[in-house]
Amino acid sequence: MLKVQDFGKRNVVDISAESIDSFDGTLIFTGDDNIVRIGPKCLSNENLRFELGSCSVIETEGQTALDDMFVYGLRRAHLTIGSGSGFNGATRMLMHEPGRIQIGRGALFAGQIDVSISDMHSIIDIETKERINPPANIVLGDRVWVGQRSMILKGAQVGEGSIIGAMSAVSGQIPANSVSAGVPARPLRSGVTWRFDLVPWPGHTESDQVDPSTGAPYFQQARGLGRIARKTRSALGRLERAGRVLRHG
């Protein structure tokens, strides 16, 4: 069950009755006028931690698995997570300044991922004395898959159905239905989608499976045995011809 520590006023926690027993972790309000809404059939473990300052909102739709998520919102921060999304391992949602992180439905996050709308410190132009690194909202469309140890940085806009490769840094626009990776992330392939289940690839047969006794794919062993058989037949043929020569002179 979610543990709530409220050090402010007028804070609201609204957890669906279908999630109360399966939603664990800690929620800390350090200020006032915050709202946390958790939809039906949501899951989390005891490592989940929400920390909200003031005038901030966290909203999750139904059937989301948040596991080890950490959310920090200092002031006027807004996080929304669509239904059917899953977060496998540690994920940090960081809003040190006013702004928004929006994650669509059916998203899939691996572990050790940071999502941050701010650089957390100011970069100042020496001549103008003005700050030049303001925060920017982050929007991920429906069914975005984010690989292990990636960073989704301020201003990132990721189109629906896209895949972000492991250890990437995303700070700009990523087109829908694409595979992107790198630092900074760049599209590598377009016109793709993804599925949760593993489906056969073109040309796949059952013989492509690995033999547990040798660790080698069956099709490689089959090819090797075929070569041995051909060599054996060739050698037997030569012996048979040599025997005829010896018999008939």
- Would you mind telling me the total number of residues written for the chain in this entry? 249
pLDDT of 137 higher than 80 = yes
Write down the pTM of the prediction.
Answer: 0.81
pLDDT of 48 higher than 90 = yes
Q: What is the pLDDT of residues 79-103, one digit of tens each?
A: 999 999 999 989 999 999 999 999 9
Q: What is the pLDDT of residues 201-226, one digit of tens each?
A: 887 765 556 556 665 554 454 455 45
Q: How far apart are CA 134 and CA 128, in angstroms?
A: 15
DSSP string, 30-44: -SSS-EEEE-TT-BB
Q: What is the pLDDT of residue 192?
A: 96
* Residues contacting 185, CB < 8 A, separation 6+: 164, 165, 168, 169, 170, 171, 172, 174
* Residues contacting 186, CB < 8 A, separation 6+: 180
Q: What is the pLDDT of residues 164-210, one digit of tens each?
A: 999 999 999 999 999 999 999 999 999 999 998 888 888 776 555 65
| Residue of 136, 134, 104, 137 lying closest to 122 (CA atoms) | 134
Q: What is the pLDDT of residue 207?
A: 55
Q: Which amino acid is at 163?
A: I
Q: What is the pLDDT of residue 200?
A: 84
Q: What is the pLDDT of residue 222?
A: 45
In this structure, are residues 33 and 12 in contact, taking their beta carbons and an 8 Å threshold? no
In Å, what is the CA distance from 5 to each residue of 2, 25, 65, 120?
10, 11, 22, 25
In this structure, are residues 1 and 24 in contact, taking their beta carbons and an 8 Å threshold? yes
Q: How far apart are CA 100 and CA 157, in angstroms?
A: 12
> How many CB atoms sit inside 10 A of residue 38's CB?
25
Mean pLDDT of the chain: 89
Q: What is the pLDDT of residue 201?
A: 82
* Residues contacting 231, CB < 8 A, separation 6+: none
Comparing 69 with 212, which gets the higher pLDDT? 69
Interval 70-80 mean pLDDT: 98
pLDDT of 110 higher than 90 = yes
